Amino acid sequence: MTRMLIIGPPGSGKGTQAERISERLGVVAISTGDIFRANVKGETPLGVEAKKYMDNGDFVPDSVTNKMVRDRLSEGDVEDGFLLDGYPRTTAQVDYLDQILADGDQKLDVVLQLTADDEELVSRLLGRAKETGRSDDNEAVIRHRLDLYHEQTEAVVAKYAERGILTQVDGIGQIDEVTDRVMQAIKEAQAA
């Protein structure tokens, strides 16, 4: 059983690697970004609220995000483990996740951080925007999201590093190469 997080800046390949890790380890991948986008597309009340923040490149408020994650982690398909992608992004969310897991007498096994150079990420995300037409991927918004990542999420990374469960992997390269590095890093982390 594996309970883990994947963390990294926007465009670092979290979603792609999360799918591959999920397949190989047989755990469910939970992406807060996908849930937000589905709500935006469905024009749900949560989606309307989330879209305001997403279009500006801002994080959706903790109050909305935390409830969604708690509800999702209470579903039956996470009993054999899970991979959270996109949460927690702030130290307050780390504390909230700790409480969710403690309530279920659980803990995280590994936190995987994908690392990448900001300029490489901007280039990747602009390319993705052309392919997919995502309204939240223009250069100004991308750079703002990267700034937010550095300001807020790096504190999350530091917190997990202090706990000794952080594993860093270079997210640049061919997808299969990155996956090989990721799976090796998870194997080593679980053996430690």
pLDDT, tens only, 58-74: 878 888 788 778 878 88
pLDDT over 70 at 136, yes or no: no
Is residue 20 annotated as a catalytic residue, yes or no?
Answer: no
Q: What is the pLDDT of residue 81?
A: 93
Residues 70, 128, 159, 181: which is the catalytic one?
128
Catalytic position from the list 20, 72, 124, 145: 145
Predicted pLDDT at 135: 66
The length of the chain in residues reads 192
- pLDDT for residue 137 is more than 80: no
Please indicate whether residue 145 is annotated as part of the active site. yes
Q: Are 155 and 92 in contact (CB under 8 A)?
A: no
Task: State the catalytic residue, choosing from 134, 143, 159, 181.
Answer: 134
Token pair listed for 51: 């879209």
Q: Per the residue annotation, which of 3, 20, 89, 124 is the catalytic one?
A: 89
Domain 2-184, CATH class in plain words: alpha beta
Distances in Å between the Cα of 140 and the Cα atoms of 16, 119, 126, 169 are 24, 13, 10, 27
The verdict on whether 67 is a catalytic residue reads no
Q: Residue 186 above 90 pLDDT?
A: yes
Name the least confident of 52-66, 88-102, 155-169: 52-66
Could you confirm whether 14 is annotated as catalytic? yes
CB 2 within 8 A of CB 25: yes
User: Which tops the pLDDT comparison, 163 or 50?
Assistant: 163
Residue 18 pLDDT exceeds 90:
yes
Percent of the chain residues topping a pLDDT of 70: 98
Give this prediction's pTM.
Answer: 0.84
- At residue 58, the pLDDT reads 81
Query: Is the pLDDT confidence value at 6 over 90?
Result: yes
Tell me the C-alpha to C-alpha distance, in Å, between residue 184 and each of 2, 73, 168, 177: 15, 26, 11, 11
Mean pLDDT rounded to a whole number for the chain = 89
The residue-averaged pLDDT of 93-114 equals 94
Which residues on neighbouring strands pair with residue 29, listed in sequence order? 83
